[in-house]
Amino acid sequence: MNPFSLSVPELESKARAVRRHIINLNANSPAGGHTGADLSQVELLTALYFRILNCAPDRLDDRDRDIYIQSKGHAVGCYYCVLAEAGYFPQPWLATYQHANSHLPGHPVKQKTPGIELNTGALGHGFPVAVGLAIAAKRDNSKRRIFLITGDGELAEGSNWEAAMAAAHYKLDNLVVINDKNGLQLAGATKDIMSTDPLDEKWRAFGMEVTECRGNDMASVVAALENLPQNGKPHVLIAHTTKGAGVSFIAGKPEWHHRVPKGDEITQAMAELSDRAEEEV
């Protein structure tokens, strides 16, 4: 079971804390960061680690633990912030993001960071590995589930669709693919660069069970994750998100794909993300 099992209001408060970490983490990085992508998936990762996943820092080797894979590896900043909040490593490590000899490099590396399950960064790599892990769990009669988050741009990689075919063929109902669908990739809109719509129909055509949610609405995310249909099919949750969600001047702006806040931007972002600001809304 999940060691936190937070309520929706508690998860919302935790998500604000994660966003504050993201702003500071990227602002202090000597090599930049992916602020927009990090902010996009906050509710998704917060819900997973503080309510859904059967895993904990003191059970890193538990054979029946759930496994999460950050397939869109460039959005590792959010992942680190959630892991730190969950106690997988000390929060002061966040200030070392992408510094020399840091435990927190620019993409997930299992050998460097407690809690990381797979080295990712090459887009299209995470889903195929997740399929293999799900097959292994079935053959071991393990109760573990495999979760991963993919991004819009990543779905242009053919390896994902090969993995979807295999997932459906092997009836991997222990696999949950979360599509962080924020409509942007790199420097523009997905519909202009490489359109994936109608995405729901594509997933279903490959044999996946599809659910949709409002990916930056915690109640919607939790409801979707806790009520996945149980019909012997692998799951896809299309989470409709906003890139840069939570910070007014970052949300929906393509230029924040690989930009970090500076100076007054940090002050403004932190003011918007304070618990007091939330109470005054």
Give 144-157 pLDDT, tens digit per residue. Answer: 999 999 999 999 99
Q: How many domains does the chain have?
A: 1
Give the integer Cα–Cα distance in Å for 183 and 191: 7
Give the integer Cα–Cα distance in Å for 237 and 225: 8
3 is a domain residue: no
The pTM score is: 0.97
The confidence score (pLDDT) of residue 186 equals: 86
The confidence score (pLDDT) of residue 187 equals: 83
Give the integer Cα–Cα distance in Å for 159 and 161: 5
177 is a domain residue: yes
Give the integer Cα–Cα distance in Å for 209 and 200: 9
- How far lies 261's CA from each of 22, 29, 119, 129, in Å? 10, 10, 27, 34
Give the integer Cα–Cα distance in Å for 127 and 220: 24
The confidence score (pLDDT) of residue 279 equals: 58
Buried b (16+ CB within 10 A) or exposed e, 213-227: bbbbbbebbbebbee
List pLDDT tens digits, range 35-82.
999 999 999 999 999 999 999 999 999 999 999 999 999 999 999 999
For residue 115, the enclosing domain spans 8-280
170 is a domain residue: yes
1 is a domain residue: no
111 is a domain residue: yes
- Mean pLDDT over 107-125 rounds to 96
The confidence score (pLDDT) of residue 254 equals: 95
Catalogue the long-range contacts made by 263-268 (C-beta closer than 8 Å, 24 or more residues apart): 266/23, 266/24, 266/27
2 is a domain residue: no
Beta carbons of 107 and 141 less than 8 angstroms apart: no
List pLDDT tens digits, range 220-262.
999 999 999 999 999 999 999 999 999 999 999 999 999 999 9
CATH of the domain at 175: 3.40.50.970
The confidence score (pLDDT) of residue 281 equals: 46
Beta carbons of 88 and 104 less than 8 angstroms apart: no
Beta carbons of 131 and 175 less than 8 angstroms apart: yes
